[in-house]
Amino acid sequence: MPENNGSRKIYVSFAGLPLTFDLKWPFHASTSGADWWVLHGTIRVESSNGLHALVAVNLSATIKEVMPSLDPKDGEGPVINALRKEIDRKQIEFVKSPKLLPVHFSSRHYNFKRNQFIFEKAADGQIATFLERKVYWQTRATGGDIWIADETEAQYLETTAHHLSEVAGQLAKQGLWRMERAYLTATDLLMSQSARFEADVKCALEELERKHVFERG
């Protein structure tokens, strides 16, 4: 798969948070006696001042059986998408202090009838908004061309890489980016909309904070 220019790859949540994932491969068997395989990592909100989450991904034996391997080439996409799903479910709290959070990667992330992972089922309008956020934040982070036919993103949205390219092509006609094959280059029109994207992040973080404050009592 083509790589994005720059070392930091931005993944946006369904609510619009720009995220980076630092995963400490490989998975290792749980030392607690439970039938889990564990992978530690750090998730960062890129537009914030140090907000992050330290996570321990607990992979169930059921999901291990359907994975081709536990190597990054097979596991990175599903792990990132499982973590994004938990963020969108407001199960992960972002803080400025160390606080390890266990996250279960289990059969609720997999459809056994269809033999595929399930995360977010996005309509075309939602895919369009997702792509706008993706291209904006990735351009802010690294600049350069962005490969949009990304299998990890397609899996997260329950679509295909080809369909992502089709939706991106429609948005290119609106002048948001230039497109050559599946490579996108953001235009000034997109990058001038920073207030909208920043407002999305602010709203998503406020909703997360309200939920966790309520749970803490």
Residues 44, 65, single domain; the answer is yes
Parent domain of 43: 11-117
Last residue of a domain, one of 68, 91, 117: 117
Say yes or no to pLDDT of 175 above 50: yes
- Classify residue 55 by its DSSP letter: E
Q: Does 201 map to a domain?
A: no
Same domain, 39 and 101: yes
Tell whether 63 is covered by a domain. yes
Specify the number of domains making up the chain: 2
pTM recorded for the entire structure? 0.90
Distance, in Å, from the CA atom of 182 to the CA atom of 61, rounded to the nearest integer, reads 36
Same domain, 99 and 172: no
pLDDT band at 49 (very low <50, low <70, confident <90, very high): confident
Residues 24 and 100 in one domain: yes
Q: What is the pLDDT of residues 2-13, one digit of tens each?
A: 544 446 899 999
Predicted confidence (pLDDT) at residue 215 exceeds the cutoff of 70: no
Q: What is the pLDDT of residue 193?
A: 98
- Is residue 216 in a domain? no
Q: What is the CATH number of the domain that holds 153?
A: 1.10.10
Indicate if 33 and 81 belong to the same structural domain.
Answer: yes
Residue 75's Cβ-side half-sphere holds a number of Cα atoms within 13 Å equal to 20
Are 143 and 164 part of one and the same domain?
A: yes
Examine the domain organization and report whether 102 and 15 are in the same domain: yes
Asked whether residue 140 falls in the same domain as residue 162, the answer is yes
Residue 58, burial from CB neighbour count under 10 angstroms (0-12, 13-18, 19+): buried
Task: Give the angle 192-194-196 at the CA atoms, nearest 5°.
Answer: 115
Same domain membership, residue 37 and residue 52: yes
Domain boundary among 117, 151, 186: 117
- Mean pLDDT score of the chain: 92
Q: Is residue 207 part of a domain?
A: no
Query: Looking at the domain assignment, is residue 146 inside a domain?
Result: yes
Domain boundary among 77, 101, 117: 117
- pLDDT, position 97: 80
Confidence of residue 15 (pLDDT cuts 50, 70, 90): very high
Tens digits of residue pLDDT in 76-117: 999 999 999 999 999 999 988 888 989 999 898 999 999 999
Query: Do residues 74 and 169 both lie within one domain?
Result: no
5, part of any domain: no
Contact present, 100 and 55 (Cβ < 8 Å): yes
Measure the CA dihedral 138/204/131/55, to 10°: 60
58 inside domain: yes
Residues 141 and 188 in one domain: yes
What is the per-residue pLDDT for 7?
Answer: 67
Residues 96 and 46 in one domain: yes
Domain assignment of residue 3, yes or no: no
